[in-house]
Amino acid sequence: MFDQVNGLPVHILVLHAAVIFVPLLALGAVVYALVAKWRSRLGWAVALLAVVAPITTLVAKLSGTELYNSRISTFSPKGKEILDNHMDFGTMTLWFALGLGVVSLIMVALTFRGKALPMIAQVTFVVLTLALAAGSGYYIFKTGDSGATAVWGTY
């Protein structure tokens, strides 16, 4: 299922969705957490991204694993090492995107229609959102960088 579409690896087709949606989720969630007056306008987008970003990340990971397994015999030792790191970064990206998605959905659900949160809950959501957004941004970058190195490097 995650192998090919019209002869092209699915991974190459779907990875760009994760590269777009994960940073958008991170940005949207941070703004939603920090700027209460914009919540009524951003809530639907953050909720949608909180679902779409982890799904696209999961599909990118599963299709990347499929691509890796189908071509493992062609890798040099250095190329295999780079791709193993790339897969580890992709796994971390998935976990951070999933965590950010869950926290974002909970935050949107609790503040729906302008409901105010107690200060301790507000601070907790801000801290969690900032940490998960930073982790998502870091790992989406590292995953992309290591993937590009694997493809365009001389290994």
Residue range 73-96: mean pLDDT, rounded: 94
Residues 1-22: tens digit of each pLDDT = 777 788 888 998 899 999 999 9
Confidence of residue 154 (pLDDT cuts 50, 70, 90): low
pTM value surpassing 0.85: yes
Residues 89-121: tens digit of each pLDDT = 999 999 999 999 999 999 999 998 888 899 999
4-66+77-152 in CATH: which number?
Answer: 1.20.1420
Report the percent of the chain where pLDDT is more than 90.
77
Residue range 66-79: mean pLDDT, rounded: 90
Residue range 71-90: mean pLDDT, rounded: 92
pLDDT at 9: 87
Q: Which residues contact 39 (CB under 8 A, 6 or more apart)?
A: 32, 108, 111, 114
Instruction: In whole angstroms, give the CA distance from residue 121 to residue 68.
Output: 42
Instruction: In whole angstroms, give the CA distance from residue 26 to residue 136.
Output: 7
Q: Which residues contact 83 (CB under 8 A, 6 or more apart)?
A: 68, 75, 146, 150
Number of H helices and number of E strands within the chain?
4, 2
Minimum mean pLDDT range among 17-21, 60-64, 77-81, 136-140: 77-81
Higher pLDDT, 76 or 2: 76
Residues 15-62: tens digit of each pLDDT = 999 999 999 999 999 999 999 999 999 999 999 999 999 999 999 999
